[in-house]
Structures are given as C-alpha cells and as structure tokens.
Structure 1
Amino acid sequence: MEPTAADREELERFAADLAHADGVAAFSEPTLLDLATPTGHGRHLVARGDDGAVIGWAHIDESDPDDVVVELGVAPAARRHGVGRALAGALAADDDARPGRIRVWAHGDRTGSADFAGDWGLVRERELWMMRRPSGAGPLPEQRPVEGVSIVAFVPGRDEDDVVAVNARAFAWHPEQGAMTADDVRRREQEPWFDPAGFLLAREDATGRLLGFHWTKRHPEGRSGDDGPIGEVYVVGVDPDAQGRGLGRALTLAGLHHLAGRGLDEVILYVEADNVPAVTTYRHLGFEVDAADVSYRLPS
C-alpha cells in the first residue's frame, strides 16, 4: 500500500501500542522515521480486522536490493490467528523475494518470534544486544583527556559531512549504520530528542580533523512509554586511522557524563553481540545485557 497521511498516523499509533503492550518496540527507529517521511522508500503490507483497524503491519526496506530488511508486528489480540502468516505469505509471494535476499528482524528475541522464524525456514543470522547501565551502577570513572584531541559539541549545518565520512569508515562492516547519509543526520536533527550539546566530536587539535564522535540520545518516557527517562549511547564511531589512542573510551565516558549531567543516570546502548572489544569496554563501565534483537535470513 502507499500510505496516506492518515495511514501513517494510524501505523505510528499501532507501533506505539505494540511497544506499550510488549515492553519492546517491534519497529526500529529507521522504520518509524521512514514511515514519517512522505517520500520514504519503504513498502508497507497492512492487515486490517473486520472493523477496519490495523491488526498487522510489515515494513519492507528495499534501499539495498541485495539486503531487503523486514520488520513485522501483529496486535496482541490478533496473534495466533494467522495474521502474521498472511503477511509473511504476501511477502513470500513477491516476485523479488529471492532466497538469501530477505532479512527479518525479531526485536526482543521472544519465543513466539523464534517459532515463527522456524516455521518459515528462516536462519538466525545476527544478534544485537541492548545493554543497560542501571542508575545504581555507581559513579562513573573520571574523564581523562586524550593528548592532542579536544572533545567539542556538534554544530548543525557545519559538521554533518565530517560525521558521515567518519561514520562510513568506522562502520564500513555494518549493513545499517555504515550507510548513514547527511540527510539521515539532518532528519534526526528535527527529532524532539536531538540535542547538539549531546553530540560530541573528537577533533585533532593540530588539524581540526574529526577523529570520532559520540551521539547521545534522551528518551523522556523510557523505551516503552511508561517508565522513567533514560539516556542512550546512540552511536560511538572512531576513524580506523585514529584507533589505539583510547578515543572510544574517552568519547563514551564524555557522553555518559553529559547524560548524567542531564539527570540521566540510567543508560542503554545497542551493540553487536560478537563485537567483543566493544562489549568488554561497556561491561567495564557497568553495562550488562538486558535484551536482544535477532535478525533471521531466508537462506540461499
């Protein structure tokens, strides 16, 4: 379907209701941003009940034709009634639904999602951990400067291209994060949570060159809309040429101290489960695994 403005508002409410009911978001931030953009590139499959209300929604991101990403959610009252199966069947019937091409995210790694994936022959491919540093984790380590480097706040309208260039190098291996564009940054600058003071850049004193960044985020109502405000280590990226100087830890600590200064002692972050160096760093800072998202792929 090609959603109207009213459809987009209805799907946003549907996604929010799911997150509230399940305690975990069924749809990621990129999907919701795409939904909110009239020129978004995603396709939508929507199931409606007898009363016309949305009871199921699948978002299909085809921006990379060789890696089509699908997120799918079904209203709690409509589960185990074939709604998810109908949406998956419609997706499988697509002429472009070639094996190996489609990846499906299951946020929260719940038993029902794993069973659904097994029924469709999907193979577990990636695991993304949400780690949490609780408010009772104790004081943060003191910040230590990195010689020859200053950490400064992001300036909208000036720093987008530098951030995108470093991000592409830092996350060349990452199928989602590495594809971030300047337009993606500017779009997030329009979000209510955006705070340039919490977007920290590490620049080389001698040249002004950007070496890395830590973009923090604030969730005023928590993650499911009914708990207290929490902070997020949104993205930490370091240029590969600048690694080995302690920039990752310095930037992470600078962001955590910034969030604490805003009264956000509880902080979450997302990290690939197999990124051992990053996970080790975060554990040393008091983070522990709190939840997991899993992507499944239709094998070739």
Structure 2
Amino acid sequence: MTATDHSQVIVSALLSDDESRAAEEIISAAAVSDGRQAVSEQGRLRLKAREPRQGVVHLLQRAADQAVGYAQLELPAAGEAGQRGKAGTAELTVAPDHRGRGLGRQLIDALIAEADGPVEFWAHGGHPAARHLADAYGAELVRELRQMRRTADAPEQPPLPEGVTVRTFRPGEDDAEWLRLNALAFAHHPEQGSWTEQDLADRIAEPWFDPAGFFLATRGDRLVGFHWTKVHPEGLGEVYVVGVDPAEQGSGLGRALTAVGLRHLAEDRKLQTVLLYVDADNSAAVRVYERLGFTIHEVDLMYRVQGPAQT
C-alpha cells in the first residue's frame, strides 16, 4: 500500500486561508530542503490572491489530515485550449518528508485530468525527482530557462541613444504606459508579455519593491525602454526584467539600461552578486549577458507531458 492510497487532491480556483497557509508551508519547506524555490514568484503571488485568477487552478494534496503536496495549473487562454501546441503550465512540489511515495505522480495525474490535455511542468533547478517523473511520463523537454550570475561591480556605462533620457518609475502614474511597453517588448514571451494591471500591482505591493531601482528610458513623452531591478532578502541583486521598444532594437538601449541597473545594484545598494533569468534559445540576450560577465549558475527545465505515465 502506498501513500496515494490514503491521499486526495483538492482542486479549487481559490484556496481557503488555511489551505493557502498549508500550501505556503509546503513550498517553504521544499525551498529549504532543495536550496531553491519549486514554485515561481508568479505562482507564489497567485497563491496569496484573495480572488480567483482567470485560468489558474490550485491543487492541494492531503494525506492523513495533513497537506503533503501542492500544484498550480495555468490553463490556456479562452479559445486556445485544444489548439496545436497549446498546453497548460504547471508547477508542483511535495513536502520533503513525504517524497518517494508516489505523491508526485498523483499530482501530475490530477493536473493532466484537470487540463484535459497536455501539461508543461517546470523542474526548477533541474531537480532530479522532476527529471525522474519526466522520464516516467515519456515527457519532452521543451524549454530551458537559465539563471546567470555575475559579481555586482559597476560596469562601464555605454552611452544612451541620442534623444533618450532615463528616470525612475512613478507608481500610479507610469503603470499604464509601462504595461503597454511591456506587452510590446515581450509580445512573444510566454509569461512576461501577458502581465495585467493586477500582476503589476501585486509586485508593487511586495516588500522588496523599490521605485528607485526601476529605471525608465524615455524619448520625449514616450516610454521606450526599462530596467527593473530587484533585491532579494538574502542580499542578491537581480536584473528583474529589461525591455526595449522594438523600434529601438539595435540602438544599444538595452545594453545601456542593463548597465544603469547594474551600477545601481553595485554602487547604491552595495551588493556582491547579481542574477538574472534568460531563455537558452534567446541567443542575442545570452550573448549580451555573457559580454557583461554573466555565467550560468543553474537551469530550470520545462517538460511537456501528453498523457498518463508509461507503464
């Protein structure tokens, strides 16, 4: 008899306060055990939400009256379900004390049933247990997200394109214009380009948010680029997101904005290390970051599961 014989998965668009706390405890315990987060910042913010988010489903796994696993599923947008190449996106983790009992498979089976189609799930840091599950399901590796790091010294500041100036973000005033540019700059990005007012508001409300580290490039009255930096509680800086208007591509604006943010993290925040995330297939961005001294620290892998585990 396995743990799954006495476990159940609760599926809900919105967890209760007690269920949310239980899920957060599982995520925190897993992060301590694994040395990295099993659920992304976006997923953790959605878990805090007090109203359902369109297309987001929470799965809380319970056994012997305690929460033992958590998964979050983002379903394809309306009209995309069933289209070729469209899949639900999921993150999941099992409490460290309950691993090795088949609970991960039960969570993936529940995700597949809920999605009623293929599911793409993240293995943050390429966790060996996630790779094992991927093999069991005959999953296909579909995406590699690299975490790169460098020493937080101040790089040489390249010149800004003629007519462009830099200032910092003004909450409540720049929100709509920033969302417009973010959608334009990341039109083909699977997550970043779809940010909503709520996504931005969630981050502005976080303790780490600092408008002094959120740089905007303007040409006249028009926003044409940005570099949003982040400082983690453990003292790591992050190139959180850099975006440039496609009309400015090739002007050197992205490189100049990256340097502005790196100088801020090194000189103003006095940090020792800076990290960033970049898709492995974004070769142009990877080259820019490598020239700035970033090297690969670890990778997150995304696997696509078409159906039940292979027997």
TM-score (norm 2): 0.87
CA distance in 2, matches of 1:291, 1:23: 12
Q: CA deviation at 1:4?
A: 0.8
Q: CA deviation at 1:29?
A: 0.8
Aligned partners of 2:213 and 2:230 also within 8 Å: yes
**Which residue of the other structure, out of 208, 212, 216, is the alignment partner of 2:225?**
212
**Which residue of the other structure, out of 272, 279, 285, is the alignment partner of 1:272?**
279
**Structure 1 counterpart of 2:111:** 91
**Which residue identity does 2:30 align to in structure 1?**
L
CA distance in 2, matches of 1:69, 1:264: 34
Whether 1:180 aligns to 2:195 is yes
Moved more, 84-93 or 28-37: 84-93
**Structure 2 counterpart of 1:6:** 18
**Which residue of the other structure, out of 8, 22, 46, is the alignment partner of 2:60?**
46
Listed as ranges, the gaps of 5+ residues in structure 1 are 222-228
**Structure 1 counterpart of 2:45:** 33
Aligned partners of 2:166 and 2:218 also within 8 Å: yes
**Structure 1 counterpart of 2:264:** 258
CA distance in 2, matches of 1:168, 1:252: 19
Whether 1:19 aligns to 2:31 is yes
**Which residue identity does 2:258 align to in structure 1?**
T
**Which residue of the other structure, out of 194, 200, 219, is the alignment partner of 2:215?**
200
Q: CA deviation at 1:290?
A: 0.4
Q: CA deviation at 1:134?
A: 3.1
Q: CA deviation at 1:35?
A: 0.5
Q: CA deviation at 1:14?
A: 1.6
* CA RMSD, Structure 1 to Structure 2 (Å): 1.6
**Structure 2 counterpart of 1:224:** none
1:43-192 aligned within 5 A: 43-50=57-64, 52-62=65-75, 64=77, 65=81, 66-94=86-114, 96-99=115-118, 102-135=119-152, 139-192=154-207
Q: CA deviation at 1:63?
A: 5.7
Aligned partners of 2:160 and 2:253 also within 8 Å: no
Q: CA deviation at 1:162?
A: 1.2
Task: Please list every run of at least 4 consecutive aligned residues from structure 1 whose deviation after the TM superposition is greater than 3 angstroms.
Answer: none
**Structure 1 counterpart of 2:303:** 296
Q: CA deviation at 1:299?
A: 4.4
Listed as ranges, the gaps of 5+ residues in structure 2 are 1-10
Q: CA deviation at 1:116?
A: 0.5
CA distance in 1, matches of 2:186, 2:47: 25
TM-score (norm 1): 0.90
Aligned partners of 2:239 and 2:275 also within 8 Å: yes
CA distance in 1, matches of 2:112, 2:250: 46
**Structure 1 counterpart of 2:245:** 239
Q: CA deviation at 1:241?
A: 0.6
SS of the residue aligned with 1:55? strand
Q: CA deviation at 1:187?
A: 1.7
SS of the residue aligned with 1:197? helix
Q: CA deviation at 1:253?
A: 0.5
Superposed CA deviations along residues 30-65 of structure 1, whole A, max 9, x for unmatched, are: 111111001132222222232x33211111112624
CA distance in 2, matches of 1:121, 1:164: 38
CA distance in 2, matches of 1:279, 1:249: 12
Superposed CA deviations along residues 149-193 of structure 1, whole A, max 9, x for unmatched, are: 111000011111111111111111111111012221122110000
Q: CA deviation at 1:259?
A: 1.0
**Which residue identity does 2:155 align to in structure 1?**
L
Whether 1:286 aligns to 2:298 is no
